[in-house]
Amino acid sequence: MTKDEKWFNKKMDRREFLKKAGIGGAGLALGVSSASAFFANQAKEDKKLADGDEEINFYGEHQAGITTAMQKNIYFVILDLHTTDKETIIQMFKDWTAYSEKLVNGELVKKDGSNALLPPTDTGETVGLNPYRLTLTFGVSASFLKKMGLEDKKPKEFRDLPPFPKEQLKEKYTGGDIVIQACADDEQVAFHAVRNLVRKARNAVTMKWSQAGFAAIGDRMSTPRNLFGFKDGTANVTKEKDFDKVVWCDSKDWMKGGSYMAVRRIQMFLETWDRTNLQEQENTFGRYKESGAPFGKKNEFDEVDLDLLPVDAHVRLAKEVDKPLYRRSYSYSDGIDETTGQFDTGLLFISFQKDPDSFIKVQTNLGAQDKMNEYVTHVGSGLFACFGGIKKGEYLGQKLFESSPVFAPDSLAPSSACIS
């Protein structure tokens, strides 16, 4: 697998296939039909993925939408509880489970009855569309556990994010009880999913804030770029064994197979950035803008030599703490900022990690020194525990509601995100 292919599907090139299949020299005549079939099937799978026809299963060991190859669009919503009745909340998650299975398969959440005087069960704006690789990812915050009387089940590493240097958080973009992340290659499909999930749960939750976003996926064979024009996500791990080390929780409690989501809403000042010369832009990141290569290297995925980077470069500060994160961020554009007359744009930074302490250490190191802080402001923040995957017949959050408490004496101890 080439380095460029790490970003997308792990497809095998012709040379590697022939080598592994033993097709070469005298054996070529025997293997040519197999080779043709392989590449024909690979091309078919590539087209299915490009057209949004790839099947993504809602059920599995882990929730989809975490290490799934990124889609082009996100609709992200944070919800607050307005009831703490346990049975009501459990039923909400059961309903969401049933709806989600249908949504990711491109089906209506429920077929309507014969009474045309009742509102349709499904809002209907995706009729005739395929699922476009829709994934739905759910999580809850520490405040959710507290409100629901479940603090005795809170893992010791799960705590609210501490204050970070130079952030300017706004209350409306901070905290919240539940997160739903809907990602798809069609923005209307992503919005439709969240709309119908929230509609079903109106008796239990209210929306705190939401954000639509986009990613420059292109042909999926290169790392997407953020609104500063730099590649975003180069350092992500790509192999299952590395996912186990970086992303997936291996605890014995309800978080087994899950992951912690850190989210930061980062406002980016494009007008200031656009007046900055190229050398200064590259010094800010510690990478060359066109290739994405770290300073002193030629290729995007070459190993970073921290000594070659400015002391306040974003990449250097993020890497020197040696706490890898799995980034899944999206750009956003929300029209014009009425107070400045400039673009209201930024990054919905999302990272997944098996221990929130990884994000905390990285962001703490970035907060005080990062040159990027001259061009961005962190205005929103949250930390959510995303459940492990479920089997058919189970419901989202089942292990949390039905598991035994976490008995750990320190379980209640108190405890600028990466742009590239």
The backbone torsions φ and ψ at residue 131, rounded to the nearest 5 degrees and listed phi first, read -70, -15
Rounded-to-integer distance, Cα 296 and Cα 50, Å: 35
Tokens of 317: 């500060």
Please report the beta strands in 69-124, taking only residues with DSSP state E, as ranges in sequence order.
73-81
Rounded-to-integer distance, Cα 419 and Cα 417, Å: 6
What is the value of pTM for the model shown?
0.85
- C-alpha distances in Å from residue 378, one per residue of 11, 65, 167, 169, 395: 38, 24, 5, 6, 34
* 80-129 pLDDT tens trace: 999 999 999 999 999 999 999 999 999 999 988 889 999 999 999 999 99
Weakly modelled stretches of the chain, pLDDT under 50: 1-40, 407-418, 420
By CB atoms closer than 10 A (0-12, 13-18, 19+), residue 321 is middle
Domains in the chain: boundaries: 25-54, 73-402
Identify the pLDDT of residue 35: 42
- C-alpha distances in Å from residue 144, one per residue of 55, 196, 393: 32, 22, 24
Identify the pLDDT of residue 46: 59
Rounded-to-integer distance, Cα 420 and Cα 363, Å: 13
CB 62, CB 261: distance < 8 Å:
no
Identify the pLDDT of residue 367: 84
Q: Distance of alpha carbon 324 from its chain centroid, rounded? A: 15
Identify the pLDDT of residue 159: 87
